[in-house]
Amino acid sequence: MIADNGQMTAAAQLARRGTRTVDCPLSAVGSFPLPCFLAPMAEFTSPPMRLLCQEHGAARTYTEMVNAEGLCRGNPKTAFLLETFPAERHVWAHLYGNEPERLAEAARRVEALGRFEGIDLNAGCPVPRITAQGAGSALLHDLPRLARILRALVRAVRLPVTFKTRLGPNPNLPTWRETLRIAEDCGVAAVTFHARFTSQGHAGQTHLDLLAEAVASTALPIYGNGSIVDRPSAEAMATTGVKALLIARAALNNPAVFTLAPGPVPDPIALARRHLALELDYRRRAMAFSRLDPEAATVLTFRRHLFRYFKGLPGANALRGHLFELHTLADIDRALEALGERIVDSRQSTVDSAGARGVHPV
């Protein structure tokens, strides 16, 4: 527990404080040195998306935001957000709320399911319907409450507890130092920082300098999040010293982003078809919670994913204009066939044009 230089290691420092450490044993995929996780996203990180990303290199995934109060009340729709596919691994439950005891009870219910590796608290979502409840990034305006919540969660379960937050409400009110002190005192296992302030939403500069300061100021593992879309942006965030990266919106149009490999996106037709099959399976499981039949529910849900796979590719704009004309799985299948043909024709046209100019592959 002592480092070679005679100093106490980070794990030893945290153990002395009673903090539950969680190593990042999940190995990186491909040539990138850090593990990459799929960040929690409301309405997106359901089992189909999680499993698809895991199949393409995500070392850990998180559920959608799960309302602790709804879970405690036994709301079946809330409980369904905790469904997992048998093939899923390394899934964490992502909870939100602002009442310590209700969050603790929700965490106990999550732990009893036996499906999850850990509990993650949302303390960073800037969406008004969440902050109006005193949850998400609203907790940065009430740090004593955040401390009570984290302490209650850690005491309630044996699973490791982490939380995802921001650098502060706005640049004039940075709270990351106080947040880290709370994290250390309460015994959480790690902290994820979205490297922006709440006031920025999901746009604007990521403050990697402040993230690096946060990493250097604590023995806790820090994970980084915010505008990681490719290898250069991942490398930039990795320079801060974070232990892992959380990728969010970039995964929606490229679930294979987690390898951070150079080169073109994998075959979007194959990705879309795999996602569609997983979505149909999931919706069949949801029959008890939906008035729609599984096919109709799959089509409605998948339409918002479909355009993302083909953004910037031939035929994408035409597809976007006709998304609401897709009412059946057969409609989606025909649209995918047509897109595939346009992509092949475009690539062949590019090759023919290059050949005409005397440019040949080597």
Is 59:27 a contact under the CB 8 Å cutoff? yes
The answer to whether residue 125 is catalytic is: yes
Residue for token digits 């401390």?
147
Partnered with residue 123 across adjacent β-strands are: 165
SS3 content of the chain, % helix, strand, coil (to 5): 50, 15, 40
In the set 53, 72, 125, 186, the catalytic residue is 125
Q: Please tell me the distance from the alpha carbon of residue 120 to that of residue 249, in angstroms, as a whole number.
A: 19
Residue 277 tokens read as 């099959």
Q: Please tell me the distance from the alpha carbon of residue 148 to that of residue 152, in angstroms, as a whole number.
A: 6
Q: Is the dihedral of CA 324, 330, 336, 340 positive or negative?
A: negative
Residue for token digits 């964490």?
92
Q: Please tell me the distance from the alpha carbon of residue 176 to that of residue 194, in angstroms, as a whole number.
A: 11
Structural element, H or E, at residue 52: helix 47-55
Q: Work out the end-to-end distance of the chain between its first and last CA atoms, rounded to an integer number of angstroms.
A: 54
Q: Please tell me the distance from the alpha carbon of residue 53 to that of residue 45, in angstroms, as a whole number.
A: 10
Residues known to be catalytic: 125
